[in-house]
Chains A and B, each alone.
Chain A
Amino acid sequence: MAEIKVDCRGETCPVPLVETRKALRKAKEGDIVEVIGTHPASKKEIPMAVKALGLELIDVQEEGGMWKIKIRK
């Protein structure tokens, strides 16, 4: 199972959400997608998208203005 990294640091609406979706579309079932970014609203909204897509949110962390979200497809 692969771990796919998506770097959205410095990007704003709607790019982190869109890049997360693009990575999830390409991922295979069981793969982990890890997104890092700095856009504040995306930290809340990526988990909303994960729920809407029926996928598993593994972890959300934030440190020094940068968040990291892990999703399992």
Chain B
Amino acid sequence: MAGKVTIIVHSGDMDKVYSAFIVANGALAMGMEASLFFTFWGLQRLKKGELEKGPLSKMNMLGLGKWMVKRRMKKAGAASLERLLQDFHELGGKILACDMTMQIMGIKKEDLRDDLISDYCAVGTYIDEAKESTITLFI
């Protein structure tokens, strides 16, 4: 494996979660390893049925902006977040869930898509992953 990408997914905004998965999947496709550390608002997206539910980071306009962007994405042939997630998983990407966020926000393991999560952990695991990464991002 040629290098590794570690991304903190802090935002739960739809467009930002897209960015995280696109970068991570690109890395996996180019033979790198990839880990996504979901925390705070990002972790909300790993709840069952919530992956596509994030608002647009700008011009959401109570969902109208998101609806317009989604329509244009569909027209452009953009993949759904669910597909990106499944591809990420298939190509061996690792998903880490922040346990402090779970405590603070009262999220239980059974609320999350546990089958896709490699580990429930804290900052130590992120640092452990990031220190051996050639690319690390905070989204």
Chain A interfacial positions (CB closer than 8 Å to B)? 10-15, 17-18, 20-22, 25, 39, 48-49, 52-54
Contact = CB atoms under 8 A, between A and B. Distances in A.
Contacts of B2: 52
Contact of A52 (B30, B77, B83): B30
21 contacts: A11-B77, A11-B79, A12-B77, A12-B79, A13-B78, A14-B22, A14-B84, A15-B77, A15-B83, A17-B25, A17-B26, A17-B29, A18-B26, A18-B28, A18-B29, A21-B28, A21-B30, A21-B91, A22-B91, A48-B30, A52-B2
Interface residues of B, number: 18
Q: From DSSP, what is the main secondary structure of chain B's interface residues?
A: helix
A43 B17 CA distance: 25
Interface of B: 2, 22, 25-26, 28-32, 76-79, 83-84, 87, 90-91
